[in-house]
Amino acid sequence: MTELFTIDNAIALATLTALEIVLGIDNIVLLAILSGKLPTEERTKARRLGLTLAMLMRIVMLLGLGWIMRLTDRLFTLLGQGFSGRDLILLLGGLFLIAKATYEIHHRLEEPDPTKQTAGRSRSLKVVVVQIIALDLVFSLDSVITAIGMARHVAVMIAAVIIAVATMMIFAGKVSGFIENHPTLKMLALSFMLLIGVVLVADGLGQHIQKGYIYFAMAFSLVVEILNIRMRGVAARVSS
């Protein structure tokens, strides 16, 4: 046990925790979108439940390293392309995100009436939790594979996951509230969801796209949108 408390493991823990938080950003955004369909009093519960499930799922996967490694074994070949269990999970998760984002964008563009949108929010907590579990499986898989590649001790990986999820729980409410209060940011989040879905489908088909490019594009778009929000606020104060 004492070999875990070394400088190398401390560096691995800090690096992996930071990376897990970055990888969890898309999870927080998707939680904000899914929980936004619930009544206000149930959103916090859904976010906490979603992040707790994500943490537990990642810990279980880390404890079953042999099963995770077998997911990369080829199951079958179709049109010259080999598919593993991981590929199928990424494909299904990506298609779900694309379908979900397309539906939400269509719903907001075609039904601008607030009364209709409010009526559409009468979704049960169970339905949202099922969707959160499905997404957690997809994002946990990538997170765990990254952890396996960066650390040698399971205890270090589990500690990084717990710290990262605890950090995300602290900021999830603020991020979700900020997105909910700004409709243009919510549309940007839906676009982000669509983009992540495309990346997952491409990854499942063997065409890996560096997520760094995606995060940079979304960060740039977010900065531009925040500047637009501030500009609209200044214009409103001047006109009043």
pTM for this structure? 0.66
Rounded average pLDDT over 8-21? 77
Indicate the helix (H) or strand (E) that contains 113: none
pLDDT per residue as tens digits for the range 16-62: 787 777 767 777 777 777 777 777 778 888 888 878 887 888 888 77
Residue 117 has pLDDT above 50, yes or no: no
Query: Which residue has better confidence, 47 or 116?
Result: 47
Q: 32 to each of 44, 128, 148, 162, how far by Cα in Å?
A: 10, 11, 28, 20
Q: How far apart are CA 225 and CA 134, in angstroms?
A: 30
pLDDT band at residue 120 using 50, 70 and 90 as cut-offs: very low
Structure tokens belonging to residue 42 = 């149930």
* DSSP-derived 3-state class of residue 64: coil
The structural domains of the chain, with segments of one domain joined by +, span 2-239
pLDDT digits (tens, 9 = 90+) for 182-213: 777 778 878 887 888 888 888 888 887 777 77
Closest CA to 61 of 33, 82, 42, 89: 89
* Closest CA relative to residue 175, chosen from 21, 59, 55: 21
Which residue, chain included where needed, has tokens 């088909």?
205
Q: Which residue has the higher pLDDT, 116 or 140?
A: 140
Sign of CA dihedral 119, 197, 146, 61: positive
Has residue 150 got a pLDDT over 80? no
pLDDT tens for each residue of 157-172: 888 888 888 888 888 7
Residue 118: pLDDT band with limits 50, 70, 90: very low
142 has a pLDDT exceeding 70: no
Which residues, listed in sequence order, are joined to residue 78 by a DSSP beta bridge? 81
Which pairs from 43-47 meet CB under 8 Å and 24+ separation? 43/176, 44/173, 45/125, 46/125, 46/128, 46/129, 46/132, 47/169, 47/172, 47/173, 47/176
What's the whole-number mean pLDDT along residues 2-27?
72
Amino acid at 19: L
Q: What is the pLDDT of residue 66?
A: 63
Beta carbons within 8 Å of 203's beta carbon, 6+ residues apart: 87, 90, 94, 209
pLDDT of residue 65: 64
pLDDT at residue 121 tops 50: no
